Every structure is written in structure tokens, then in C-alpha cells.
Structure 1
Amino acid sequence: MLDTPLAQVPTLSLNDQDADPVAFAAALGGSFERFGFAIVADHGIPHDLIDRAWRETAALFALPDDEKRGYFVAGGGGARGYTPFKTEIAKDAKHVDLKEFWHIGRDLPEGHRFADHMAPNIWPARPEGFRDTFLELFTAFDRAGDRLLSAIARHLKLVPDWFDRAVTDGNSVLRLLHYPPIPADAEGVRAGAHEDINLITLLLGAEEAGLELRDRDSGRWLAIKPPEGAMVVNVGDMLQRLTNHVLPSTTHRVVNPPPERRGHSRYSMPFFLHPAPDFLIETLPGCISAENPNRYPTPITAHDYLHERLVEIGLIKK
């Protein structure tokens, strides 16, 4: 399953944004328009913080199953804390995904206006230091995401800080993912073919083979293999809708490993960058033309859109 050709997604350095922000924006936007994906090196998240996060992620998922399930919130849509193995299912898929995960969101002060839409975080009793590590990592992802959104705004001929108002106190989620070892007779795949819901996704951990995108030109599945330590970034459905498909949200999946790797776990850390719940997703005028008429004449809030999609993937019941 892993003999798929490699996607020719370019690797960009976020350091180049400082030297030539216009050129970096053009390169990032061009990669998104072609693939819906980009690979970003020099993203600014400290290596020692990432290493600490990997250790604590592995320790978290090594906890006894009943201990982990004590952090599962039934009916919570997987918004915070633990979501057990074989819970999430890709839209229109026949089998549930072969994964378990943990969600960390933005810490809001008491009485915040978004408190009804953004649940408080759930912190495990162990591993020790988990809370501090992942609050620090959340902030680092936030900063990297802001820099990438600035480049996206330039590419779309918007002012560089256009997204600031959209993502201030945004409902972003840091997901810690564990794909356990795969038995030979496993039904389904680690993550079925899907598109992400949010604006952009920033992913660490894609060096381990398995992540594939569906090429829009050929329809073929292409493997994504970033350099060590680089981040994979992809467009989500909210940004696709906002840009009237100028920036496409590309279908992707995580396939099962070859026999020699089936006994190994796979870990990854995607940061789903969301706007604030009350942000109105309304097609950008600059993305509407005679050749590309407005696909979404009726705007929708980010909160309502997210709710619709969580129902589709089984994390919220109707």
C-alpha cells in the first residue's frame, strides 16, 4: 500500500518570509493552489519542545485503557480530552478510523464570551508536566499559524493582518494522535479519506510513512514525505469555502503500514487552526469572477459550520 509515488510538494522555509514576504506568499499560495498542501521548514517551534511533546504523547497513550477512558466526555464531540480507539469515521466511510486521540484547546479566562462554545481543557494526572508542555506547544503553533495566515492573506491580495480579526480567540485544537500497531486482518485504515474542517492544519509527525493526498489533476494517491522536523500544512474546508475554492481543501488519508512496520505505533500532532466561533465565513469578493462564480451565496458562522461537520464524522450525534 505504500508504493505510491511521492507528491512533488515543495519544501519552503518560513525564514524566507522575513527576507521577502511577497515571494514567500507566492510560493506558499502556489503550492496550495496546486496541491492544497505545502511543506514548511524553519517553522519556529523549538526542537526541544517538540521532543518533549513526543515523549509525553507516547506516555499518555501508554496509560491503561480504563485510565484514558476516564478522560472521555460522552456527548462532548471529542472537543477536549480523550477520544477512544475506533470512534471517528471519515465522511461516507464504511469503517471507523484505527486511531485514538487527545484534544487540547485554547485556555479561556473565566466568563469569556466564547465559554459556551469552547469547552475548558481536560488535563490528565500523568504524565507529569503534560499541561505545561502542551500549553506551550499550543502557543507555538498559534504563532506559526499566524505567520502562515499572513502569507495567505498576501497571496489573496488582502492586507497581511486580514486574518487577525478572524482567529483572535479562535477555536483551534491541538490533536495528539496515536495509531496503534495494526493486525494483519484489520478492517479499514488508520485514517480514511477526508478533508479537514478548519482554515489550515499544521502537522508534525508526517515523517513516518502513511500520509497521502489525492492529486486533483490525476486522481492518483501521492505520498507526502517531509524532511525531518518540517511541518506539513494543508488547506481546510473553511478556507476553501472562504476563497471560493481558489485555495482547495484536498482529500487525504493515512494508510496502513507495510508488514515490517505493522507492529509499530504511529504518532502525529496536527494543529487545526480555526477562526473564532462567531466569525462569518463569507466568500471573499476577490475570489469571485465570471469564471469562478460564488459557490456559497449564503454565509455561515464558523461555529455552525463546525457543528455540521462534527455530526458528519460521528463525533456529535444528531
Structure 2
Amino acid sequence: MLTNKLPEEVDTLLSKGQIPIIDLAHCGTEECPKKSVVNRVASQLQKALCEKGIAFLVNHGISEEKLKTAWLHLDDFCKLPNDTKELYMRKAPDNHGYIKPSQERFDGTTPELRHAFNICTLNAAILPEQPLPGFKEHIAELANDFKHLSALLLQAIAIGLDLQSNYFLENHSHMLSGNHDNETTLRLLYYPPVIKEDDNKCEMTKGRCKYSQQRCNGNGGIDLVPPRDVKTEKSRKNSDTDTDDETDDTDDNNGNISDHSKSSRSSRSSSEKEFNVTRCGAHCDYGTFTLLSQDSEGGLEAKLPGSTKWKRVGHLPGAILINTGEILSIWSQKRYPALLHRVIIPEQENVRVRGRHSMAFFCHPDNCTSIQPLDIPTIEAPICDKTKKLKRRSFKAAKDKVFTAYQLLQEKFRQTYVS
């Protein structure tokens, strides 16, 4: 397993102390942590998510060895024959299954150089247990750790919003149940190396697995460049001339989610222009929050709330990142803004020629949950009688446009996946 570190001279949000670090010592992955622990985490998390939309979690109780073993399983899956991998492909409307490179395009056009396996259920029948013995047992144990950690964080977020501690827990009670009641997803990710095209070299060996990493003329490569046509070329030229404009808000006053693929056309790095691919396009996550573990920084960038510039996040070994999603932004009336982020092809050649593993736990509400702004006090002042009347009217107007969690997510999936 390679551990990739950026050169020290590259400034990151972490190196500048702009990302909060929250210590979960004494929390572990217990289902019922001490009340004093939850209250402490609630205070720190409330400040971090309000101001930054992101935080590093340390001493979270999830074994690094478990994470590395899961990435090895993904390596083994990727080296299976194509006809075997096809048996486990993601099939809409379900989000479960394997996603090959270029299948997802968050900006609608740019192919994304990434292997992913979405796990939405622990049902052995649709997990690659037969070709990968031990896969289900290991993933089930790891998923259980993420669920327990999420339970702690859901309680802390509720307390931070002055709600009953079990408010969000009750709306997330079917995570990974396997009964199509919840779209929570444990996502294994591998970003292959990116090198200049060379007819004599089409693969790079990493660990026990060979990955195609660029367009090749032989039979072993993956052509990640879409067919060229007038519309595509025009769109690409327009994209290349864009600058880092300030992005639109995640949702409007009625809780409607904006399309980031249209509203946040962000400038691409010179590496991405050169290779005509990216690792992951700019987007906000769709759910309540995301927990991200990674073996290297590998190009992860974010725009913090109020900022118009992309900033490299940085890598803290052993830590798990938490970032807010669009559903939590709606629920909290934007008190917790959804974090706009992306994974670019790094400019530094010594970084981009190495692969990158990551793992994301996308925490989603139960499918039947109505997603609408909660009537909560603002940070600045308690709600006065006049404000209450205004809020009642705004909530009444919004009720006609309330989504369920399932409807919202299916619409976002339709925007993300290409045929």
C-alpha cells in the first residue's frame, strides 16, 4: 500500500490550520457513548460545520488495518475478468454495485478516472463473495463501525441544532438494511495513476493489481476520451476559459437543490486539460454528511463557505474527514452549508503517477423521510414572534415542494450517471 504525501511546499487548508480537528477519544464506535462526550463533540462539530463545512476526526475507533484490507479487496476485484465484473455492475435505480471509469461525470461532460464499488446492502447474493472469499464478512464489520460512528455524529449534530438527541437517529434507522429503505452507501474508490500517453506502456502495476491509466492503442487500455463533436468541443473550450467564479448556494429558500454541474463551472487544472479527464468533478454530496478515509491527499480540493477559490485540503494520516451534504444544509436552513469539493489530477508529476485509495460512507436519511427546513433558532438570536410568523409562512409555501430523501437522491443520480 502506497502512502502518498504532497511536497512540503504545497500549501493546504490543513497546513494553514483552516480545518478543525475533533478528537473523538473515549467515543470509539460505541452505540451509546457517554452524554458528556456527545455534548463535547456537539459543540466542536457545530462550530466546524457552520464555519467550514468540514472537519478532521481523529481517534475515531475505526482500525486503519480494516481500511487497508478493504482497499486490497477492491484491488482484487479490479483485476477480475471484465465479464465477472459485469455481473456486479451498478444498475439504476439501485445505487449498489461496481462503477467503471468514465461512467460518472459530475460536470456532465468530463470523464472521471476512477473505479468505485458502491455497497448499499450486505446481502451476500449481490456482493462479490464468490470470486473474493471473505469480502462480505470484512465489509460487514467495517460498515458496522461506520454506522456506529455515524450514530454518534447524528446525535451530536442534533444537539448542536438544539433538537432532541435522537431526532436524526430516528430518521436514519435503516442504514444498510438491505430492504431498499435507505440509500446510505459505503463506497470503495480507487484513482489510477495518470501518465502521459506512451504506446509502449499501457499499464502500471500497483500492489497485486494492474490498472490501465491512460488512453492506449493496444487491447489492454481504456479509452477515456469521449467522441469528439461540435457541442463537446464548444463545451470544452468554454470550460477551459472559465475562472474560479463564486458558486451558487446549495439550495434556495424553499429547500430546492441547485444543479452544481451547471451553476459551478470551475476552472480546470492544466493537468486535466492535458489529459481531458478528471478524478472527480466539482459537486456537493447529496446526503446528510459524508465520512471520508483516504490513503493520500491525491488532489482533494474544496471551496470553504464564503470563499471563491479552490484550496487543497491536505492529508492527515489516520484521520477521517466529515463534510456536510445538501440534505443537512436544507434541514439546518443553511446553518451547515454543503461543502463544494472535487478531486483533480495533481499538477505534481510525482503525485499523479501514483494511485490513490479512498473510502466514503455517505450517510443518508431513510427513503420515506420528508426533507424540509427545520424550525430551529438562528445562531445570532432567539426567534421573536414576528420572525416566527414569517417562518411559518415560508414553511407553508415550501410544503408544496417538499422532497422525500429517495426522490431527491434519484434525481441527483440521474444527473450524475451517463448511459
> How high is the TM-score relative to the length of structure 1?
0.86
Matched residue, 1:102: 117
Give 1:94 deviation, angstroms.
3.1
Matched residue, 2:63: 46
Q: Taking structure 1 as reference, are residues 226 and 158 closer, same or farther at Cα in structure 2, changes over 3 Å only? A: farther
Please state whether the residue corresponding to 1:163 is helix, strand or coil. helix
Runs of 5+ consecutive residues of structure 2 not aligned to the other structure:
1-5, 28-33, 176-181, 197-273
Give 1:36 deviation, angstroms.
0.9
Mapping for residues 1-318 of structure 1, pairs under 5 Å: 3=10, 5-7=12-14, 8-15=18-25, 18=34, 19-73=36-90, 75-77=91-93, 79-90=95-106, 92-107=107-122, 121-170=126-175, 171=182, 172-184=184-196, 185-205=274-294, 207-257=296-346, 258-286=348-376, 290=387, 296-297=398-399, 298-314=401-417
Distance 2:47 2:306 in 1: 15
Give 1:223 deviation, angstroms.
1.8
Does the CA-based 8 Å contact 1:39-1:231 persist in structure 2? yes
Please state whether the residue corresponding to 2:41 is helix, strand or coil. helix
Does the CA-based 8 Å contact 2:56-2:322 persist in structure 1? yes
Give 1:197 deviation, angstroms.
0.6
Please state whether the residue corresponding to 2:362 is helix, strand or coil. strand
Distance 1:174 1:230 in 2: 17
Q: Taking structure 1 as reference, are residues 124 and 88 closer, same or farther at Cα in structure 2, changes over 3 Å only? A: farther
Does the CA-based 8 Å contact 1:181-1:265 persist in structure 2? yes
Give 1:287 deviation, angstroms.
5.4
Q: Taking structure 1 as reference, are residues 231 and 27 closer, same or farther at Cα in structure 2, changes over 3 Å only? A: same
Q: Which amino acid aligns with 2:305?
A: R
Distance 1:160 1:108 in 2: 31
Q: Taking structure 1 as reference, are residues 305 and 206 closer, same or farther at Cα in structure 2, changes over 3 Å only? A: farther
Moved over 6 A (4+): none
Give 1:93 deviation, angstroms.
4.2
Distance 1:146 1:182 in 2: 37
Distance 2:377 2:99 in 1: 37
Please state whether the residue corresponding to 2:339 is helix, strand or coil. coil
Say how many residue pairs are matched.
Answer: 304
Please state whether the residue corresponding to 1:285 is helix, strand or coil. coil
Overall identity of the aligned pairs, in %:
27
Q: Which amino acid aligns with 2:323?
A: N
Give 1:218 deviation, angstroms.
2.7
Q: Which amino acid aligns with 1:80?
A: H
Give 1:125 deviation, angstroms.
2.7
> How high is the TM-score relative to the length of structure 2?
0.67
Runs of 5+ consecutive residues of structure 1 not aligned to the other structure:
110-119
Does the CA-based 8 Å contact 2:285-2:325 persist in structure 1? yes
Q: Taking structure 1 as reference, are residues 37 and 88 closer, same or farther at Cα in structure 2, changes over 3 Å only? A: same
Distance 2:287 2:337 in 1: 12
Does the CA-based 8 Å contact 1:168-1:276 persist in structure 2? yes
Q: Taking structure 1 as reference, are residues 238 and 158 closer, same or farther at Cα in structure 2, changes over 3 Å only? A: same
Give 1:64 deviation, angstroms.
3.5
Q: Which amino acid aligns with 2:416?
A: I
Give 1:76 deviation, angstroms.
2.1
State the superposition RMSD in angstroms: 2.6
Query: How big is each residue's C-alpha offset from its partner over 1:38-87, in whole Å with a ceiling of 9 and x where there is no partner?
Result: 110111213332232222222222333443233214x4256112111100
Q: Which amino acid aligns with 1:45?
A: I
Distance 1:145 1:268 in 2: 18
Does the CA-based 8 Å contact 1:235-1:250 persist in structure 2? yes
Does the CA-based 8 Å contact 1:93-1:192 persist in structure 2? no
Does the CA-based 8 Å contact 2:190-2:357 persist in structure 1? yes
Q: Taking structure 1 as reference, are residues 78 and 260 closer, same or farther at Cα in structure 2, changes over 3 Å only? A: farther
Q: Which amino acid aligns with 1:67?
A: T
